[in-house]
Amino acid sequence: MRRAGLFGVPRVRPWSWQAFLLGPIVVGMSAVLQGLCVALGAKLYFVAFLPGLFLLALVAGAPAAAFATLLTIPLVWWAFMPPLFQFTPLTSANADSINLFCLLAVLLIGLADLCRETMTIIRSGGLKPSAESTATNPQ
């Protein structure tokens, strides 16, 4: 019986051109979703980008997600922070939003990378027990 979970997720090799091409696509889709959130009155600038970054890091690896994070910051600054579609000096609240997004992005990318490594270990048959364990006493 097969286990349900993330094992059916297609994976892209990190540092490949496909992984880095997937980054702007995910950022664009997240920007459309963020535009819908703004149209409905949401004031959270990065809310739609965090799940996209997590899924991108899970599928394409940490380098592509870091690249997408770097694309997201100027996009949100330009398109979603008032005044819209202009680069203006950041207020302290906007700078705090960017700093919080960077912190959350690093944490989510790290979590997704751990999930990728765990899936790799499980697919290869799990951890192999060593012949001699330090936790047991043979006497």
Confidence (pLDDT) at 6: 55
Please, what is the Cα angle at 21 between 19 and 24, to 5 degrees? 115
43 or 101: which carries more pLDDT confidence? 101
Q: Do 44 and 33 touch, CB atoms closer than 8 A?
A: no
Confidence (pLDDT) at 139: 60
Confidence (pLDDT) at 132: 59
Listing DSSP states for 92-108 in one string gives HHHHHHHHHHHHHHHHH
Two tokens, residue 113: 């990378």
Domain edges within the chain = 9-123
Q: Do 72 and 27 touch, CB atoms closer than 8 A?
A: yes
pLDDT digits (tens, 9 = 90+) for 42-87: 888 999 999 999 999 999 999 999 999 999 999 999 999 989 899 9
Q: What pTM does this model have? A: 0.83
pLDDT (mean) for 7-25: 86
